[in-house]
Amino acid sequence: MAVHHLQTTLVMIVIYLILTRQTTATTEEFRVSVPENVAVGQAIITLPRTQLGDKAELPCAKIMDGDPHFRFNVTKDCIILVANPLDWSVESAYLLNIHRGLYNTSVEVQLTDVVGYPPVYNDTCETPTNPKGGLLLSLKSSAEVLTTNQDVLYIRHLWYDDFFHPPTYDHWKANTNNSDCTFHLATYLSWADDIITFKDIYDNGLRQTTCSAGSDNHDLSAELFFTGGDEESRLQKLRKFLPNFIVDDVRDNIIVLFLKCIFPAKDAKLYSCNFPTFLHPPVRAFNSDARIQIASFEYVDVEVRPIGCPVGRYGFLCNKNCICKNGARCHGFNGACRCAPGWKGVACDIPKPDVSITTTPSDPRQIYTSRNVAFHCRALNIDAKVMSLRFPNGSEKLVSGENYMTVLVANMQPENSGHYICMVLDKDGLTLNATLDVLCPPNRKGVDCDEACDCLQGASCDRWAGCVCPPGWNGTRCQTKCPRGTYGKDCTKRCSCQNGASCSPSGGRCNCTDGWYGNDCGKPCPSGLFGWRCQQRCACKYNATCNSVDGSCTCVTPWTGRYCDQLQTSRARDEPLLESLIPLGSLVLLVAIVTAILFKTGVLACSVPETGEEEKILFELRRMEQDLAQTLQPGWLGRWEKKARHLTPGPLIGEGMFGKVRRAQLRTTGGRLDVAAKAVRVEDAQSYRDFYREAAILVAVHQVQEQDGNDRKSNIVRLVGLITKSAEKYILLEYAPKGDLLGFLRGIKNNNQEYLLENLLGYAVHIARALQELERLRIAHRDVAARNVLITADDVAKLADFGLARDVYATAQYVRANRPGLDELLPLKWMALESIETGEYTCQSDVWSFGVLLWEIATLGQDPCYDGRTQLTFLQMVGILRQGIRMNRPPGCPEDLYRLMRACWRDVPATRPTPEGIEKRLLQLRLALLIPEAIQIMETAL
């Protein structure tokens, strides 16, 4: 557009120069026509050489007159430039007089009106000011889906939020148009999972989706373009539907997502979208784990929330500079300026005759709290003959010959509220005025502001309307909840939730009671699931029926117990603890195995002096997974046992309340070996339990690795041996000279973050492999965190601490659980939502903690924090996570890495990426950091 105007301008300039140049002895006259939106800095005319026969060219000096507001500049070479923005409605023509040696040159500049210029300030979609910067609005979508495996999943997708910095979102193209308050957003998809998902959605015929907020019109629509084919047909297709500015940016990409939305005024708006209920073929979910396929969408909601740009910026990405001057407000959509009193023009930089009225204090809410209020009346850019300030009670204060007056109202009272009018009569008889409305004091209403509002639910008090209730509330003081079945402002909307579900007060989204799901909560949980939105998995065994509300099991004979996994025998009643720990069959097996082990290894025969020890081991083994206990082959303890006299303990390298780690040397047949010796220091039940659990898990892991022949490649810290027969008991581990990852991260001083990150992600890859090993063994680590990762001499990260180091649980990173019947210290900020809520630990909950470990890496070992808080109680943490709040993207962290973290922190464990998927993704990310083009190549290949 601008280029087009420029060309037109130049052609016109030439024509005018030919047609209108008239030369006299001392005066030259020129005319030029320019569009009003000509850019600042643009040349509008180059004056030709003087025709007076001078040998030397006369330089131009300055514009003598005809330009009172400095719209133009002239260079020595006689080029006239635009110096400040032009505005046809303010001044449509200028007659410039230019001094040139002894001669005068006059140039008539005629402005032409340009449609759509200057941009208009539209109050309806005025955006808030947000000093943090970022984006004009945030977009979040959430959906409830049924998978082909009959799982109910709740998917949340953050498209756009204020904490993403615009440069990382270059591939989002946006256009805002405030004449109808719409914004258009287009992006091409670059994340492989998104491409797969959207392709599937596209194949389901969902090219065009509309979304509506209650009874409102469909003011949010999304379109998908699958732009395969040759360049020309692809372009044609895009051009047909998309604005040109977008087509040029997204033309080379396969899938383009285009959103069009009417900007919500002030508050967030929730839209429900018309996705198809049944999908053929199923949609592969937004997840590295392609096993999850969506069979039906129960609902899809999109929330659009206004955020706003910092002062001086506008546009969807807040990346355009406002031109507004002299205290003008700049519209977030199009940069239109709303001028302060006394200014006009597209940039509010041309003075105009005006009057202003202000108060001190300036905030109207403080007027009544400050005892004395000053009213200031100003005449701007005019010479006032008389100035008056009229009070709400009709009285007036006058001054003459002054351009400024201040009136002090002492002891401001409610009856002082109303209109204050400042009026100015100037010397030419022109009158101008400005009005200021002083509202009632807070919480007051009525003609005389003498009635109290006392609104509830945070409602605002309007002088005339009284309490303005938020959606979902009614009554003079907003004391009444909307009647059941209704919602929205003034409870005018009807909701259709079933089975005792309530509906959200603003959007009407159904909040199902336990045991139900679906758009209107009309569907009972699929078999095997129970609880709120069927998010929990039944644990009932042996054909028992599971209650879809609370997951309780109704057993079939002869089974009994909470999960119907125990046989009904008298033993069960006698030994409830053991029975609840493991099924009877495995108990017998386990006792047999352990007894055999103990005899075979001579432990029993050697008679351990502390007679309680075998029992401690037995007890600990029973607490473990049945599968794991079975992997412990007879003789395990003896095969790993080392002699205490072969160990030479060295300096302490890690210490806590219950355990301590020493660097030590172990005498072996092959020579002396550096080891880390972990010892129990305090002989209490907890320390022993941890000691034996860690020993048994490490033995099990190593046995399986030995069988598979890949023990050397493992990313789990290597077990060297155990010393259990001496008074001081040790777990002997390979010595990792670089210590733990947390200390390593915190010790990094290098500023080259990208180089660093690419190296550090190597450690993350190692731990993702460790998680794969644990997944194969069906062991949950429960405490994946940077402090529990060790770095070996050859720079390999290994997962360590399988339970001994409860000592660190006493530090701030571990919070005491206050679940009934539970008294343990938990690494709360690393724990998955379900682990906090129900104490359930799985490989998927380890994936959550791995996401936190990634965050620790990206922040070089900072303390995890939510909303700027590092110390959180059990309940606060649950509340935060349940609201969908997650840790922010660390500064400098690549967007894709943050997306991976967020994927690890999904509510529903099954939707989190698998350790294998994580490893793949991390390798891609590392590659992309090393060779930025690599990611492009990989995605094109997809």
Q: Residue numbers of the site for ligand AMP (CB under 6 A)?
A: 653-654, 659, 661, 676, 678, 717, 733-736, 739-740, 787-788, 790, 800-801, 804-805
Shortest distance in whole angstroms from residue 658 CB to ligand AMP: 9
Rounded-to-integer distance, Cα 506 and Cα 177, Å: 27
Q: Label residue 347 exposed, middle or buried (CB < 10 Å: 0-12, 13-18, 19+).
A: buried
Please list the helix, strand and coil fractions of the chain in percent, rounded to the nearest 5, in that order.
30, 30, 40
Phi and psi, residue 750, nearest 5°: -60, 140
Residue 244: in which H helix or E strand, if any? helix 244-250
Could you tell me the smallest distance in angstroms from the CB atom of residue 780 to ligand AMP?
Answer: 17
Residue nearer to ligand AMP on the CB measure, 743 or 762: 743
Tokens of 59: 């330089």
Between 313 and 766, whose beta carbon lies closer to ligand AMP?
766
Could you tell me the smallest distance in angstroms from the CB atom of residue 788 to ligand AMP? 6
- Least spacing, CB of residue 654 vs ligand AMP, in Å: 2
**Closer residue to ligand AMP in complex, CB, 613/734:** 734
Query: For residue 353, is the peptide bond before it cis, meaning its omega torsion is within 30 degrees of 0?
Result: no
For ligand AMP, give the closer residue by CB, 657 or 910.
657
Query: Would you say 172 or 691 has its CB closer to ligand AMP?
Result: 691
Strands 27-35 and 72-74: unpaired
Spatial separation of the C-alpha atoms in residues 681 and 649, rounded to whole Å: 14
Q: 748 or 930, CB closer to ligand AMP?
A: 748
Distances (CA, A) of 191 to 157, 287, 630, 921, 936: 13, 10, 42, 11, 10
What gap in Å lies between CA 125 and CA 432, rounded to an integer? 29
Q: Which is nearer to ligand AMP, 154 or 658 (CB)?
A: 658
We find the least distance from the C-beta atom of residue 743 to ligand AMP, in angstroms, to be 6
Copy the structure tokens of residue 368. Answer: 């009544």
Considering the complex, what minimum distance in angstroms separates the CB of residue 939 from ligand AMP? 39
Six token digits for residue 787: 């402090």
Which residue is nearest to ligand AMP, using beta carbons?
Answer: 654
Minimum CB separation of residue 322 from ligand AMP in Å reads 52
Q: How far apart are CA 15 and CA 3, in angstroms?
A: 19
Query: Least Å distance between CB 805 and ligand AMP?
Result: 3
By beta-carbon proximity to ligand AMP, the closer residue of 371 and 712 is: 712
CA-CA distances (angstroms) from residue 505 to 305, 309, 499, 517? 17, 29, 18, 19
Residue 653 dihedral angles phi and psi, to the nearest 5°:
-115, -10
Residue 579 CB coordination number (10 Å): 20
What does each C-alpha distance from 754 to 745, 758, 867, 893 come to in angstroms? 14, 6, 26, 9
Closest to ligand AMP by CB, 740 or 834 = 740
What is the token pair recorded at 182? 């719409």
The annotation status of 385 as a binding-site residue, yes or no, is no
Q: Which residues of 409-421 are buried (b: 16+ CB within 10 A; e: fewer)?
A: beebeeebbbebb
Residues in the chain: 942
Provide the minimum distance between the beta carbon of 872 and ligand AMP in the complex, in angstroms, as a whole number: 22
Decide whether 317 or 852 has the Cβ nearer to ligand AMP.
852
Nearer to ligand AMP, 304 or 760 (CB): 760
In whole angstroms, the minimum distance from the beta carbon of 786 to ligand AMP comes to 10
Residues paired with residue 506 on neighbouring β-strands, in sequence order: none
Q: Most distant CA pair in the chain: distance in Å?
A: 129
Asked, as a colleague might, if the bond just before 524 is cis with ω within 30 of 0, I would say no
Q: Say how far apart CA 454 and CA 220 lie, in whole Å.
A: 37
| CB 811 to ligand AMP: min, Å | 11
Nearer to ligand AMP, 364 or 656 (CB): 656
Residues 6+ apart with CB under 8 A from 16: 30, 31, 32, 33
Provide, rounded to whole angstroms, the least separation between the CB of residue 698 and ligand AMP.
11
> What are the phi and psi torsion angles at 719 (to 5°)?
-85, 130
Residue nearer to ligand AMP on the CB measure, 139 or 664: 664
511 three-state secondary structure: strand
CA angle 807, 809, 811 (to 5 degrees): 95
* Cα–Cα dist 224/365, whole Å: 48
Tokens 């095969």 correspond to 639
**Cα(221)–Cα(207) distance, integer angstroms:** 10
Query: Which DSSP state fits 696?
Result: H
Q: Which tokens is 113 given?
A: 């009106």
How far apart are CB 742 and ligand AMP at their closest, in Å? 7
Which residue ranges are tagged as binding site?
Answer: 678
Which residue ranges are tagged as binding site for ATP?
Answer: 678
